[in-house]
């Protein structure tokens, strides 16, 4: 055997090692592809689902506006639903393959308002009314989910789609993976939180409170704890000074203002239709001193007419002293308020912690939610145990009822939160009669 020449079997073994290495490398790369692309796919599925959820809810909010008696948009309700669904889909980076109208149970509807299901009770989307192709005609009034008895149009079913690009899938010829998700959101009248018969409803009080627990400091400025109000406990909601970020009295019909008009707004709610969230403009807040006038009662006495009842109180998380951009109402941290004109620190500090925001007059309030507040009365044992026999102590001389932990509060509204409404539409002039059906919420159900 010549020197320097490798035996045949050695060369053969070397060749086998190369083949095995190549096979092992393919296995390793395939594993990496599965790990990386699989993880990315799982993450993207969540993103697509969130986009579908958001798009369905956007359509349901429009239906909530329709139910609440909001003036129809110039383009019509069907076109507005389609616009909002597609706008939210685009913002979330997904496309809408189809969107259909449903009833409150999430059952797809035909263009004639009947159920879009086959003989076996399975949905048949081929005959369902598609968003953007006309609003379903319907005379139905009493839906029953178990029996598939449909009600009027009240929801939107969205089929969302996104093609996910792979990182390593191209190795096996899979350069993208289609992901489809569906979501259904419905809107309907809220029930079970008011002393409600068909003729009695929650009334909206013309006062707004921060979204977080509020108290006063020793200079009578309002501060918040950064914690949301809890459901159940009795709260003494203080009325501190009048700077932005404080509890504020609302004048829905400016420019008159003053306690006389405020009393009438309490007894006979005259609020505009309010979407959640939205900016609401109040030019002159009312004055709680005195009362009388057209409605012949003090502000305190007017609120006490609701003692023991559940009322609706708008909550705010920002104020602005310059006309905000409504299209940015969901985009923090300024929510469309021009820089330097906002006090958007969730109600912290009485008078400009956000840099601007005015002094309580000529204000826009950003309202993301409504609180259902059951006012105290003597029949409520938890209230009575604390000496709180009424829902309002606002004469400015009620330190014994309103002060908590030495905060110096001398006026307050007292009661317990039973629900927070964070989506939907509250109709115009809610309360004091048959207007209760105008309180509408939205909910994802599928």
Residue 356 lies in a domain: yes
Question: What was the pLDDT predicted at 354?
Answer: 32
Say what percent of the chain tops pLDDT 90.
24
**225 pLDDT higher than 60:** yes
Same domain, 116 and 184: yes
Question: What was the pLDDT predicted at 256?
Answer: 57
Of the residues 188, 212, 240, the one at which a domain ends: 188
Same domain, 231 and 120: no
Residue 46 lies in a domain: yes
Task: Pick the range with the lowest mean pLDDT from 102-106, 221-225, 267-271, 316-320.
Answer: 221-225
Residue 196 lies in a domain: no
What tokens were used for 49?
């689902």
> Across residues 35-56, what is the average pLDDT?
78
Same domain, 32 and 152: yes
Question: What was the pLDDT predicted at 19?
Answer: 63
Question: What was the pLDDT predicted at 12?
Answer: 52
Provide φ and ψ at 390, rounded to 5°. Answer: -135, 165
Give 22 or 325, the one with higher predicted confidence.
Answer: 325
Of the residues 188, 218, 252, the one at which a domain ends: 188
Which residue's structure tokens are 């006090």?
A: 343
Per-residue pLDDT tens digits for 127-144 = 999 999 999 988 877 777
The residues pairing with 297 across neighbouring beta strands, listed in sequence order, are 292
Q: Does residue 186 contact residue 158 with C-beta atoms inside 8 Å?
A: no
The confidence band for 83, taking pLDDT boundaries of 50, 70 and 90, is very high
Residue 166, CB-side half-sphere exposure with 13 Å CA sphere: 19
Question: What was the pLDDT predicted at 433?
Answer: 39
Residue 4 lies in a domain: no
> Across residues 349-377, what is the average pLDDT?
65
**158 pLDDT higher than 90:** yes
**Sign (positive or negative) of CA dihedral 344, 345, 347, 353:** negative
Same domain, 256 and 289: yes
Closest CA to 311 of 416, 233, 424: 416
> Across residues 75-91, what is the average pLDDT?
93
Task: Give the C-alpha separation, 344 to 334, whole Å.
Answer: 7
Question: Could you tell me how many residues make up the chain?
Answer: 446
> Across residues 222-230, what is the average pLDDT?
81
Task: Pick the range with the lowest mean pLDDT from 100-114, 115-129, 223-237, 347-361.
Answer: 347-361
> Across residues 171-196, what is the average pLDDT?
73
Q: Does residue 257 contact residue 251 with C-beta atoms inside 8 Å?
A: yes
**197 pLDDT higher than 90:** no
Same domain, 137 and 282: no
Of the residues 155, 188, 221, the one at which a domain ends: 188
Question: What was the pLDDT predicted at 209?
Answer: 86
The residues pairing with 140 across neighbouring beta strands, listed in sequence order, are none
Per-residue pLDDT tens digits for 240-287 = 765 444 567 787 776 555 667 788 888 888 887 787 888 887 766 555
Question: What was the pLDDT predicted at 434?
Answer: 40
Domain count, the chain: 2
What tokens were used for 438?
């105008």
> Across residues 150-162, what is the average pLDDT?
91
**425 pLDDT higher than 60:** yes
Tell me the C-alpha to C-alpha distance, in Å, between residue 360 and each of 40, 180, 303, 386, 391.
Answer: 49, 48, 21, 32, 24
The confidence band for 91, taking pLDDT boundaries of 50, 70 and 90, is confident
Same domain, 297 and 437: yes
Residue 11 lies in a domain: no
Residue 168 belongs to domain spanning: 19-188
Same domain, 119 and 173: yes
Give 286 or 53, the one with higher predicted confidence.
Answer: 53
Note the pTM of the prediction, 2 decimals.
Answer: 0.63
Residue 2 lies in a domain: no
Residue 154 lies in a domain: yes
Per-residue pLDDT tens digits for 327-356 = 888 888 889 999 888 776 444 333 333 333
Task: Give the C-alpha separation, 347 to 365, whole Å.
Answer: 11
Say what percent of the chain tops pLDDT 70.
73
**Whole-number average pLDDT of the chain:** 78
Question: What was the pLDDT predicted at 1?
Answer: 46
Same domain, 83 and 170: yes
Residue 197 lies in a domain: no
Same domain, 183 and 244: no
> Across residues 174-183, what is the average pLDDT?
82
**Residues 6+ positions from 385 with CB-CB distance below 8 Å:** none
What is the CB neighbour count within 10 angstroms for residue 91?
A: 13
What tokens were used for 13?
């073994």
Question: What was the pLDDT predicted at 247?
Answer: 63
Same domain, 167 and 102: yes
Give 402 or 220, the one with higher predicted confidence.
Answer: 402
> Across residues 200-214, what is the average pLDDT?
81
Same domain, 173 and 235: no
Same domain, 292 and 375: yes
């Amino acid at each position: 055997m010549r020197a320097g020449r490798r035996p045949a079997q050695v060369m053969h073994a070397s060749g086998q090692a190369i083949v095995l290495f190549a096979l092992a490398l393919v296995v390793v790369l395939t594993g990496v592809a599965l790990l990386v692309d699989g993880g990315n796919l799982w993450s993207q599925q969540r993103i697509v689902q969130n986009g579908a959820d958001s798009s369905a809810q956007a359509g349901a909010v429009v239906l909530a506006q329709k139910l609440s008696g909001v003036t129809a948009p110039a383009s019509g309700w069907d076109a507005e639903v389609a616009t909002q669904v597609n706008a939210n889909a685009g913002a979330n980076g997904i496309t809408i393959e189809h969107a259909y109208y449903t009833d409150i149970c999430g059952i797809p509807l035909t263009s004639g308002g009947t159920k879009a299901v086959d003989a076996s009770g399975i949905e048949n989307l081929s005959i369902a009314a598609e968003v953007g192709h006309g609003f379903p005609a319907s005379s139905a009034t009493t839906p029953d989910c178990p029996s598939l008895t449909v009600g009027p149009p009240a929801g939107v079913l969205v089929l969302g789609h996104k093609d996910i690009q792979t990182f390593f899938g191209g190795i096996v010829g899979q350069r993208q993976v289609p992901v489809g998700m569906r979501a259904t959101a419905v809107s309907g009248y809220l029930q079970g939180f008011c002393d409600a018969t068909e003729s009695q409803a929650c009334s909206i009080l013309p006062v707004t409170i921060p979204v977080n627990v509020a108290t006063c400091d020793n200079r009578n400025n309002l501060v918040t704890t950064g914690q949301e109000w809890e459901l159940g406990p009795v709260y003494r909601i203080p009325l501190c000074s009048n700077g932005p970020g404080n509890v504020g009295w609302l004048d829905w019909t400016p420019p008159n203002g003053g306690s006389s008009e405020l009393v009438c707004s309490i007894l006979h709610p005259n609020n505009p239709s309010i979407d959640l969230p939205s900016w609401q403009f109040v030019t002159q807040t009312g004055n709680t001193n005195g009362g009388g006038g057209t409605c012949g009662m003090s502000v305190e006495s007017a609120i006490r007419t609701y003692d023991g009842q559940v009322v609706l109180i708008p909550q705010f998380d920002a104020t602005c002293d310059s006309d905000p951009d409504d299209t940015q109402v969901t985009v923090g941290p300024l929510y469309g308020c021009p820089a330097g004109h906002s006090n958007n620190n969730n109600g912290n500090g009485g008078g400009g912690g956000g840099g601007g925001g005015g002094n309580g007059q000529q204000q826009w309030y950003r309202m993301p939610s409504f609180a259902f507040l059951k006012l105290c009365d003597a029949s409520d044992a938890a209230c009575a145990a604390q000496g709180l026999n009424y829902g309002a102590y606002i004469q400015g001389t009620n330190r014994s009822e309103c002060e908590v932990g030495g905060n110096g509060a001398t006026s307050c509204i007292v009661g317990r939160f039973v629900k927070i409404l964070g989506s939907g539409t509250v109709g115009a002039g809610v309360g004091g009669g048959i207007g209760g059906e105008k309180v509408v919420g939205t909910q994802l159900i599928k």
